Amino acid sequence: ENGQGTRRATLAATYDQVLADLAQAETLLPDATTRNRAGKTTARALRARLHLYRQQWPDAETYATQVLSNSAYGLAAPYRAFSTAPFLTSESVLEITYSNADANTMWNNWFPSALGGQYNFQPVPAAIALLNNPAVGGGRSALLASTTINGAAAIYGNLYSRSAQRDDPSYVLRVAELYLIRAEARARQGKLTGALADLNAVRARAGVPASTAANEADLLLAIENERRVEFAFEADRWFDLVRTGRAGTVLGVTDTKKWVFPIPFNDLVADPDLEQNPGY
């Protein structure tokens, strides 16, 4: 109001700006497979994700296919291969790389204090059960590890720090996501055969039985559940359930105002023109 701060843009305007940025980036970035630096393929993968969030199914399918059609990218097998040395595998579309001198410290949030961590994030029993179920988690059970604390087993997330040098990458985009983006986009368009094939490509790599979902509703639920397991500890689940409108049904968060995070207090103090999200 006083002309000195930043007024909120609409969600649609924000998405439009993101799309414009990605479209321009695709023209400017190199057409090279450099997995720890952005390239044209990175922009295309992000566009696939953006179109999925905007429910623009044909575009989501198109841009996911552009990535998956590139022979430099593919699912790394077995499952654990994409996150063990040597890194920069075909699974990686974009990753943050580390070195012995510049170590990945994400492990600290997951590891128990007995192993030098803070145990800020702990897998819930439901996630542990899914990952350890051979018919659901398969090879993804490698995402869990355990140690003994005071005579009791402590299960913790093992996505990070599998390398003694602590140079494990943090994945921003990987091929499995593109398969599941395309699977969902195809299912939403009634292309059930192609959607099922994409879903089962991810399941086959994990070593679990192929899905037999035969209609759109069952297939979409199967894809939702697959994303929960495939991206365990990669912070996708909440956003998946919000974008599909299922956070209330699945998590019991029925107040939709809580589906949006609050603007941090310090930001509001710094900019009087910034408006808090409704409900906070």
- Report in angstroms the alpha-carbon separations of 58 from 45, 79, 262: 14, 29, 32
Residue 174 host element (H or E): strand 170-174
Ranges of each domain in the chain: 11-79+171-237, 98-168, 245-280
CATH code of domain 11-79+171-237: 1.25.40.390
Taking each helix axis from N to C end, the angle separating 216-230 and 192-206, rounded to the nearest 10 degrees, works out to 30
258-273 pLDDT, tens digit each: 999 999 999 999 988 8
> pLDDT above 90 covers what percent of the chain?
75
Could you tell me if 107 and 84 are in contact, meaning their C-beta atoms sit under 8 angstroms apart? Answer: no
Q: Is the pLDDT of residue 14 over 80?
A: yes
Instruction: Tell me which residue of 173, 174, 223 sits closest to 194, measured CA to CA.
Output: 223
84-113 pLDDT, tens digit each: 766 788 999 999 988 888 888 888 889 998
Determine the average pLDDT of the residues in 175-188: 99
What pLDDT is recorded for position 140?
95
Instruction: Tell me which residue of 56, 60, 54, 67 sits closest to 94, measured CA to CA.
Output: 67
Q: Is the pLDDT of residue 200 over 90?
A: yes
**DSSP codes of every residue in 62-116:** HHHHHHHTSTT----SSGGGGGSSS-S-TTEEEEE---SSS---THHHHS-GGGT
What pLDDT is recorded for position 48?
99
Measured at the alpha carbon of residue 200, what is the angle toward residues 195 and 202, in degrees to the nearest 5?
105
Residue 20 main-chain phi, psi, to 5 deg: -60, -40
